[in-house]
Amino acid sequence: MPDSIVFFAFVGFAAQLVDGALGMAYGVTATTILLSYGTSPAIASASVHTAEIFTTAASGASHWRLGNLERGLLLRLAGPGMVGGVLGAYVLTAFPGDKIRPFVAMYLLVAGAIVLGRGLRRHRQDHVLGPNKVMLCGLVAGFLDAAGGGGWGLLVTSSLVWGGLTPRKAIGTACLAEFFVTTAVSATFVATIGLQMWPVILGLIIGGVIAAPIAALAARHMPERAMMITVGMLVMGLSVREILKGLGVV
């Protein structure tokens, strides 16, 4: 595995650029790269979540300043997400998190198709998810994010857009809520397995913090329909890849 801080700064920059602009895929991108070099799922998830404390803080603050936020949803997502994240981190230290990823991928494939369909329609009626569904979404997403090494944005942003929230507010709310979730997850990993691979963590932090304000601007100014179509296609693409991996095709 490359141990250069510069290499992982580029990884962190690219991952955060996608995550901050579309509200998803930082953890999935960074974790996939670490796993491809033979890193164990627990260590990969711990490293990525530690870096995300800083990147999500920068991203969330940028979205907040630009008004890409639905404040009423923030606590409903963050609180249950922290609980789910702590549980997921504990599970990952005992069981391989990739065993549950195919089930997540099936849900995301359906969610991505619905989001894409909404983006392709010229007229749609917005209706934000109810409080209980938002809290359940946060709980499940937090658990799967920690146990699978990523997926908070994929689940939360997809679900919020699916429910009718405008893409830029769904992205901003998901990014800021993720700061609280990833802090709880990282603290759990520190208490159980500790932290390793500091060049990787530092590189991811540097690249992600640099990219955060750029990505937030992109989320604010990108046309809504184009963003929704992009989110749907990205979710579906990553979901199909996860399904194929589970089947041993790729």
pLDDT tens for each residue of 17-47: 777 666 667 777 777 777 667 676 777 778 8
Number of domains making up the chain: 1
Q: What is the pLDDT of residue 180?
A: 92
Q: Is the dihedral of CA 81, 38, 196, 2 positive or negative?
A: negative
Inform me whether the pLDDT recorded for 98 exceeds 70: no
| 125 CB-contact burial (10 Å; exposed 0-12 / middle 13-18 / buried 19+) | exposed
Of the pLDDT bands very low, low, confident and very high (cuts 50, 70, 90), residue 192 is: confident
Structure confidence at residue 222 as a pLDDT band (50, 70, 90) = low
132 CB neighbour count, 10 Å cutoff: 9
Q: What H or E segment, with its residue span, contains residue 186?
A: helix 167-192
**Structural domain boundaries enclosing 97:** 5-246
pLDDT confidence of residue 196: 75
Nearest to 90 by CA among 182, 191, 177, 181: 191
What type of residue is 213? P
